[in-house]
Amino acid sequence: MATAAELAPAAASSTSAAVADDAEGVLSAPLAPTSAADATALRNVALLTAWVVSPVLLPIPVPAQMLVLALLVIHIASERAAVSLLARQADPSTDKEERDVISGAAAYRFPVMASCALLGLFLAFKYLPASVVAVLIGIYGLSLGSLALSSVLSPILAAVPGMPDWARATHSFFNDFVEVSAVDVGGLVLAVPVAVLYARTKLWLANNILAVSLALSAIEMLALGDFKSGAVLLSGLFFYDIFWVFGSKRVFGANVMVTVAKKFDGPIKLLFPKAQGFRWAAAVRSLPTREFSMLGLGDIVIPGLFVALLLRWDMRHTPVAPAPAEGEEAAPPTLVGPRPYYHTVLVGYTVGLVVTLVALNVFDAAQPALLYIVPACLLASVGLALYRGEMRELWAYTEEEEEEEEEKEKEANAVGPPASGENKKDL
């Protein structure tokens, strides 16, 4: 059983977009959703849904379930995050959801804060009334899961052919504190029954739907601000995972990570049913009693943030558009083109997860997946950078300046152009 850090990301709406041709036929950043982007979003969701549901009737081995689902989530979430970033860059004046950027000191604090949260949950389970803790955690987890699922469903509803423009339009309430559209409401209406089903039955399938939605939303709405912060965060959580799985029993008398993972009644982990054979009717009847393996969301989300960062690096450093002529502005990065770092770190993640599964079977005990995944991801990306002679550039790579420029542009657009006769000032 692979366990991971507890992570409770905030859910938020996302938009789908696609690259479009400019007047000269050069690929550029999208300005609005297109039918191609809608088709891609529908295809990704259909593929992800099919794989989540497939273990109900097909005897898929647990390692295959874990590997394919984890890779699908990371791939789809990384592209969703990149598309959202491109849409913000194409039109900074629009009110799109901001990313929460993890950089600098935040990367150092993250393992400490995660440790405090994990220990707090462990002590709550140990000393507080179980019924009270279960109710509070249940409400919290299901609320986040419902919002995350609605954020995944709303772009799909917006992509439905014939959906009227008024349904996609965003409306503000409470002095712009809440901004929703009709498709957002529709997504939430569809998400609530899944949360209710999980609350009443604890069905693994409902758990996985909510957990996958949380992972997608987390990778899309969180972001590593630079490569150094990514390396620091992964390294810190490497030691975090080792201590709370292997070392916590000596200090607290129990394996803190495993205890919280088992007692936390919420969609913070993925459940993988063990194969039952091809007897479909028997497989359906045995759903409530099947044995499961677990994979914590942290084992997907944390490496997924690093993978998404390297996808954005590829977008900026392996352009498909020709170099601009002197005095011309460079074309924005796109999702089209080679992705050497992205594909390499995905291979590293796959190797790390496979080693985790091997160690799980060899030692027959819970394994800290980040113990194997973190070195694999870091070695894969650094090794490629050294081979290509880009290590210095990769180590210095940061997106913080771009985030600040976007903020300044939004503020300038909000203020509006200066009145005629006023002098312009450079800020």
Q: Is 241 a catalytic residue?
A: yes
**244 located within any domain:** yes
| 221 pLDDT higher than 70 | yes
| 394 pLDDT higher than 80 | yes
**Which comes out higher in pLDDT, residue 415 or 319?**
319
Q: Which pLDDT tens digit goes with each residue over 197-211? A: 888 888 888 899 999
Structural domain including 291 reads 2-12+31-321+331-408
Q: CA 90 to CA 264: how far, in whole Å? A: 41
**356 located within any domain:** yes
**416 located within any domain:** no
Residue 283 has what pLDDT? Answer: 47
Half-sphere exposure of 145 (CA within 13 A, CB side): 28
**26 located within any domain:** no
Q: CA 370 to CA 235: how far, in whole Å? A: 9
Residue 421 has what pLDDT? Answer: 45
Half-sphere exposure of 100 (CA within 13 A, CB side): 12
Catalytic residue among 299, 314, 364, 426: 299
Residue 412 has what pLDDT? Answer: 54
Closest CA to 75 of 48, 102, 35, 46: 48
**62 — pLDDT class (breaks 50, 70, 90):** confident
Q: Which pLDDT tens digit goes with each residue over 242-271? A: 999 888 888 888 888 888 888 887 788 898
Closest CA to 398 of 193, 53, 107: 107
Q: Which pLDDT tens digit goes with each residue over 299-308? A: 999 999 999 9
**2 — pLDDT class (breaks 50, 70, 90):** very low
Residue 310 has what pLDDT? Answer: 93
Q: Is 299 a catalytic residue?
A: yes
Q: Are 195 and 52 in contact (CB under 8 A)?
A: no
Q: What is the mean predicted confidence (pLDDT) over 396-423? A: 57
Residue 225 has what pLDDT? Answer: 87
Helix H, strand E, coil C: the string for 2-69 is EECCCCCCCCCCCCCCCCEECCCCCEECCCCCCHHHHHHHHHHHHHHHHHHHHHHCCCCCHHHHHHHH
| 320 pLDDT higher than 80 | no
| 233 pLDDT higher than 90 | yes
Catalytic residue among 184, 241, 265, 314: 241
Residue 125 has what pLDDT? Answer: 87
Residue 368 has what pLDDT? Answer: 87
pTM: 0.79
| 278 pLDDT higher than 50 | no
**Which comes out higher in pLDDT, residue 337 or 413?**
337
How distant, in Å, are the alpha carbons of 4, 38, 311 from that of 73?
16, 18, 14
The DSSP line for 242-281 is: HIIIIIHHHHHSS-HHHHHHHH--SSSEEEEEPP--S-HH
Residue 209 has what pLDDT? Answer: 92
| 19 pLDDT higher than 50 | no
Residue 381 has what pLDDT? Answer: 95
**391 located within any domain:** yes
Top mean pLDDT of 98-102, 316-320, 335-339, 375-379 is at 375-379
Q: What is the mean predicted confidence (pLDDT) over 405-422? A: 50
Residue 303 has what pLDDT? Answer: 94
Tell me the β-bridge partners of 223. Answer: 101
Residue 401 one-letter amino acid: E
**344 located within any domain:** yes
**Which comes out higher in pLDDT, residue 404 or 339?**
339
* 372, two tokens: 């194997």
Residue 328 has what pLDDT? Answer: 64
User: Taking all residues of the chain, what is their mean pLDDT, rounded to a whole number?
Assistant: 77
Residue 97 has what pLDDT? Answer: 57
**415 located within any domain:** no
| 123 pLDDT higher than 80 | yes
**419 located within any domain:** no
Give the number of domains in the chain. Answer: 1
